[in-house]
Amino acid sequence: MSDTVSGDDEVARIAAEPSGRGAAFFDLDKTLMQGSSGFQFARAVREAGMITRRQLVSDAMANIRFRLRGAGDEEAEALRIRIATSLEGVRVRDLERLGVRAMQRILPRLYPKMLTIAYTHQDAGRPVYIVTAAAQGMAEVLGRVMTFDGALGSALGEIEEGVYTGRPTGAFLYGGAKAVAIQQLAAKEGFDLSACYAYSDSISDAPMLRAVGHPVVVNPDSDLEQLARVEGWEVLRLDRLGQKLTIAGILTGAIAVSGAVGAVLKLTHTTIHIEFPRLGRQR
């Protein structure tokens, strides 16, 4: 049986645990923050006039489906390729400049209790890291703002002379790739994985949770909640910042507004990484 605890209970427990050579790894979307960081970046991209409203809604719906049903290796690779090709011709600097707008949206959506948990780990001697499928650059900036010890994120694509070529390169940190990244970091830094913690909301992060000695699921999706019961993993419940939408509600709302951006703004609890869709085609 899994053990359901509050944020305060988790803080007290980890403060009492000896640190050993452990670290703590945090998924970003719906774990450290409400909703999707990629969606907030996509909104910033839309505000900058780099994509249309129709594109924003279309990519939001595609990524909702991706989130709800998960993805195998082939689907994850197809998404990685789509992300890279959508950036062809985009200057790295132009994308980086959108980070300020995105951070203005992301920071108010952080769960204060999760930050307290992360800082308690640090005070107990455990380094803390973001581990996310979102872009490495955004993960690093957010990690610095939150005073984390590091961040592991995805490569967006190949860069030549400051411009994205449209060719994929590097790792896309989804599913098992997160576990591999954690294991590689642990080997490099000398962390004892049995003394490490990992936090996530999604069944796609089961490999990351299984890679450490102390897996904790946070406001889990139904599949992860079921797995947590089977494995006896701790379940951490946080107060929701808004009403959780059902799948039916998502689809009905999206159809009713006929693709208006207003519908997308209601979907932040269920969207995942909308990784800068088709930026190079709106000039």
Query: How far apart are alpha carbons 200 and 174 in whole angstroms?
Result: 12
Choose among 84, 86, 81: nearest CA to 50.
Answer: 86
Name the 3-class secondary structure at 185: helix
Query: How far apart are alpha carbons 162 and 260 in whole angstroms?
Result: 34
Residue 131 included in any domain = yes
Residue 175 included in any domain = yes
Joined tokens for residue 130 = 């973001």
Task: Please report the pLDDT score of residue 172 as a whole number.
Answer: 85
Residue 164 included in any domain = yes
Vertex 23, ends 175 and 223: CA angle to 5°?
A: 35
Three-state helix/strand/coil letters over 82-147: HHHHHCCCCEHHHHHHCHHHHHHHHHHHECHHHHHHHHHHHHCCCCEEEEEEEEHHHHHHHHHHCC
Choose among 241, 236, 273, 265: nearest CA to 109.
Answer: 241
Residue 42 included in any domain = yes
Task: Please report the pLDDT score of residue 138 as a whole number.
Answer: 82
Residue 58 has phi, psi (to 5 degrees) of -60, -45
Name the 3-class secondary structure at 131: strand
Chain-centre distance for alpha carbon 121 = 20
Residue 269 included in any domain = no
Does the active-site annotation cover 3?
no
Task: Please report the pLDDT score of residue 236 as a whole number.
Answer: 93
Residue 108 included in any domain = yes
Residue 159 included in any domain = yes
- Work out the number of other CB atoms within 10 angstroms of the CB of residue 272: 25
Query: How far apart are alpha carbons 55 and 58 in whole angstroms?
Result: 5
Query: How far apart are alpha carbons 173 and 56 in whole angstroms?
Result: 23
Residue 170 included in any domain = yes
- CATH number of the CATH domain containing 236: 3.40.50.1000
Under DSSP, the state recorded for 205 is: G
Does the active-site annotation cover 192?
no
pLDDT by residue, tens only, the chain of 283 residues: 667 877 888 888 888 787 679 999 999 988 999 877 776 776 766 776 665 666 656 656 655 555 555 555 566 667 667 777 777 887 888 877 877 888 888 889 899 999 999 999 999 999 999 999 888 888 898 999 999 999 999 887 888 998 988 888 778 888 899 999 999 999 999 999 999 999 999 898 999 999 999 999 998 988 999 999 999 999 998 865 433 433 333 333 333 333 333 333 333 333 333 333 334 433 3
Joined tokens for residue 33 = 């923050």
* Domain extent at residue 41: 3-56+70-243
Q: Which residue in 3, 8, 9, 27 is the catalytic one?
A: 27
Query: How far apart are alpha carbons 242 and 245 in whole angstroms?
Result: 9
pTM score: 0.76
Count of domains for the chain: 1
- Work out the number of other CB atoms within 10 angstroms of the CB of residue 48: 15
Q: Which residue in 29, 59, 201, 221 is the catalytic one?
A: 29
Joined tokens for residue 167 = 């060719």
